[in-house]
Amino acid sequence: MLKQKIILVIVIGIVSTTLYAQSADIRIITIDQAISIALENNYSLKQAKNELDLAEDLIFSEKADFLPSVSASMNGSRTTGQQFIFERFNENLDPFVDVSSQSMSGGMNASINLFNGFNNILTLKSSQSNKESRAQQYERAKESVIFNTASRYLQVLLDKELLAIAEQNLETSTTQLNQVQAQVELGARPMVDLFNQEAQVANDELVVTQRENTLSLNSLLLVRQLEIDPLGSYDFIVPDLTLNDLPWMDINIRSLVSEALSTRSDILSAEATILSLKYQMQITKNSLLPSLRASAGVSSRYSDQYSIGGNEVSFSDQFFDQQVNRSLGLSFSLPLFNNWNRIYSIQSAEVQLKNAELNLDNSKMQVIQEVSQAYNDYSSYVKQLDASEKSLIASERAFQTQQERYNLGASTLIELTQAQSAFVSAQSSYTQALYNLIFQEKLLDFYLGKLKGDNIF
pLDDT along the chain (457 residues), means of 10: 35 36 69 90 92 93 90 89 67 72 90 88 93 94 91 91 91 88 84 89 94 94 92 83 60 87 93 95 90 94 80 85 91 84 90 95 94 90 89 90 83 83 88 87 87 64
Q: Both 232 and 202 in a single domain?
A: yes
**11 φ/ψ angles, rounded to the nearest 5 degrees:** -100, -50
325, part of any domain: no
Distance CA 432, CA 389 (A): 11
Q: Both 87 and 205 in a single domain?
A: no
Report pLDDT for 247.
59
Q: Both 183 and 81 in a single domain?
A: no
Distance CA 111, CA 109 (A): 7
Q: Both 59 and 77 in a single domain?
A: no
Report pLDDT for 20.
39
Could you tell me the residue range of the domain that residue 100 belongs to?
Answer: 72-111
Q: Both 159 and 210 in a single domain?
A: yes
- pTM of the predicted model, to two decimals? 0.77
Q: Both 140 and 203 in a single domain?
A: yes
What is the domain count for the chain? 2
Beta bridge partners of 333: 291
Report pLDDT for 360.
95
Report pLDDT for 211.
93
453, part of any domain: no
Closest CA to 396 of 376, 425, 433, 356: 425
Report pLDDT for 141.
92
Q: Both 207 and 232 in a single domain?
A: yes
